[in-house]
Each structure stands twice: as structure tokens, then as C-alpha cells.
Amino acid sequence: MDLKKAYYVDVTGIIVKDKKYLITKRASHKIAFPNKWTVPGGKLEPQDYEDGKADTNEGHWYNICENTLRREVMEETGLKIKNIKYLTSLVFRRPDGIPVVVISLFADHSEGEIKLCPDSTEHAWVTLEQAKDYDLIDGIYEELEMLDNHLKGNSVNKWEKTQ
């Protein structure tokens, strides 16, 4: 394997309920962005596809990002989600130097009550305006803004820095 081409793949999701967005505060022990507010998500793992039957005869698994997001949201918050859609993507380097590709999605809350995992210490359902009051990971506010514009009937444009 060429380590120059190796990345973690993360999938995150903005969860929508009653016109508000779920944000969670990362625990202090997290390597990347400790104590910052963000949206639920996590790493693609082999179990996200190997535990299920391949979708093609050649061994391809489809909807892998959606399946990963469902698993991560359930693990981190105890919620079920539906209507998963693509929003944007990004790359960053963790403090330990590992590059991470993040696929940012959005989804509707389907059912369940918040039960945070140990990697998150707090949660809030916020409007776009209320999100400004939280110490969000850089770029998350703009993702919320993109989605807010989309939900108001506007097209989803590319990510741009606004704050």
C-alpha cells in the first residue's frame, strides 16, 4: 500500500429536527478538535460493508457513506435518521499527521432520544443563528449555512468561508 495515498475516511451528518440542527461537543480526550462543537460522524470501518452481502457480483458495496452515517449517529447519539443526502466534502490533517477525507451529509431525525457516547460531552438542537454562540470546529458553521439555504429552497452551493 502506498502510504502517500492512505487516508482515514470520515462521514459526518447534520441532523435536522423541527428546523433545528444537532451539534455535539467533543470530549477533551479526542485527538482532533477536543472540546469543540461539531456534528455527529466518524470513520468508515470494514464492518460497514464486510458484515453485509455485496451489492454486485464483483464485490461492490453501495450506499457505504449512508450506512456509516447511520451507524455513527446511532453510536454517538442513540438517534435513527432518514433521508440522507450529500452536502460537501473536505480534507484535513489531524494533529498526529494522518490525513482525513470527510464526506459531509445531512439527514432528518427519524426516531429516538439523545443518549451521548463517551466521546461527546454535551449536545444542543440549534438554529443557524444560535449556532454562532458555540465554539464550532472551523467550517461547520458554513456547512450549517449551506444546509439552511438549501432547506429554504435555494440551491446548495460550494462551501465558502463566511464567519
Phi/psi at 24 (5° precision) = -130, 150
Give the chain's domains with CATH numbers. 3-151 (3.90.79.10)
Predicted confidence at residue 132, as pLDDT, reads 97
* Per-residue model confidence as pLDDT tens for the chain (163 residues): 888 888 999 999 999 999 999 999 999 999 889 999 999 999 999 888 888 889 999 999 999 999 999 999 999 999 999 999 999 999 999 989 999 999 999 999 999 999 999 999 999 999 999 999 999 999 999 999 999 999 999 887 788 887 6
Exposed, middle or buried: residue 19 (CB in 10 Å: 0-12, 13-18, 19+)? exposed
